[in-house]
Amino acid sequence: MRRFVIAFLATMFAVPALAQSQLQQIKLKPGPGLDAVERNCGTCHSLAYIPMNSPFLNAAGWNAEVTKMIKAMGAPIDDADAKAIADYLSKNYGT
């Protein structure tokens, strides 16, 4: 049991560090709205989700994703940033 607790605690400290290092490795395409994406999206999840989902989402899909993050997941994104994010994602990572 003690080994389990030690392993669990070690994981709790290692996972955030790993996530942070992965976040720093993701380089998104430059363009208007990138700062809003990094500021808002990267605080809750890895930015790696953006290129991973790009083959599946068009402009309407990216708009739906941004809306879902705000309404269903509770992301505190204001209307101006939401529009900038959706525009950036659809222009740079849309199908």
Query: Which tokens is 8 given?
Result: 């669990």
Residue 44: closest CA among 80, 68, 10: 68
Domain boundaries, the chain: 28-93
pLDDT bracket for residue 11 (50, 70, 90): low
pLDDT in tens, 41-78: 999 999 999 999 999 999 999 999 999 999 999 999 99
Q: For the chain, what percent of residues have pLDDT higher than 70?
A: 76
Does 10 score more than 70 pLDDT? no
Helix (H, G, I), strand (E, B) or coil at 36: helix
Mean pLDDT of the chain: 86
Looking at CATH, the fold of the domain delimited by 28-93 is given as: Cytochrome Bc1 Complex; Chain D, domain 2 (1.10.760)
pLDDT bracket for residue 25 (50, 70, 90): confident
Query: Which tokens is 41 given?
Result: 């999206």
> What pLDDT score does 28 carry?
97
Q: For the chain, what percent of residues have pLDDT higher than 90?
A: 69
d(CA 73, CA 19): 20
